Amino acid sequence: YYIPMILIELTSIFTGLRDGITLPYILNVLYFTLMVGICEEVFYRGLMLKTLSIKGSKYAVIAGSIIFGITHLGNLAGGANMTYTILQVVFATLFGFVCAELVIITRSIIYVIFFHFLHDFIAYISVDSLNRTIDYVILGIQMVLLLLYAVYLWFKISEEKMEVEIR
């Protein structure tokens, strides 16, 4: 179940690395992205997924993923442009969808914490500007792969599996 997610995340590296990356920068980014990965996954794919599962596992996946995606609209307040933010909301929704499905299927949150950390870490060390055609192509490829993987995993979820004991 995890190889597709690793491949999706590694496609980001094809945009190239940022200029001027230093060891202190990498250490700060490692710490920050690990903390974000842990906190967001525990909240969205842990607490929220379990709470929403009262209405069924598929409902929990859909509702939780939409909420996760919408929270990325907050980037507008930080000065991000509208196109970038909308693409980030779509990507985050798809990413959340796949992560929620993986948690339900595997009954573990550990791997999605790792994927979230990996995604954020790569985003901070790679060129992430959406100023070049290649940036849009890679983001488009990632979103199509996430969508296809989400559909594949959707049919692996059964309602009975939602007696979630997230480890």
- Structure confidence by residue, pLDDT tens digits, 122-159: 989 987 666 778 888 888 999 999 999 999 999 998 75
pLDDT of 120 higher than 50: yes
pTM of the model: 0.88
Higher pLDDT, 64 or 3: 64
Calculate the dihedral angle through the C-alpha atoms of 67, 112, 127, 66, rounding to the nearest 10 degrees. Answer: -10
Higher pLDDT, 109 or 166: 109
The letter for the amino acid at 91 is F
Question: How many angstroms separate the first and last alpha carbons of the chain?
Answer: 17
pLDDT of 165 higher than 90: no
Rounded CA separation 120/114 (Å): 10
List own/partner pairs for 78-83 with CB under 8 A and 24 or more apart: 83/130
45-79 pLDDT tens trace: 999 999 999 999 999 999 999 999 999 999 899 88
Taking phi over 0 as left and psi of -120 to 50 as alpha, with beta for the rest, 126 belongs to beta
Q: Could you tell me which of 110, 109, 96, 111 has the C-alpha nearest to residue 149?
A: 96
What are the structure tokens assigned to 41, written together? 């996954």
What are the structure tokens assigned to 20, written together? 């001027």
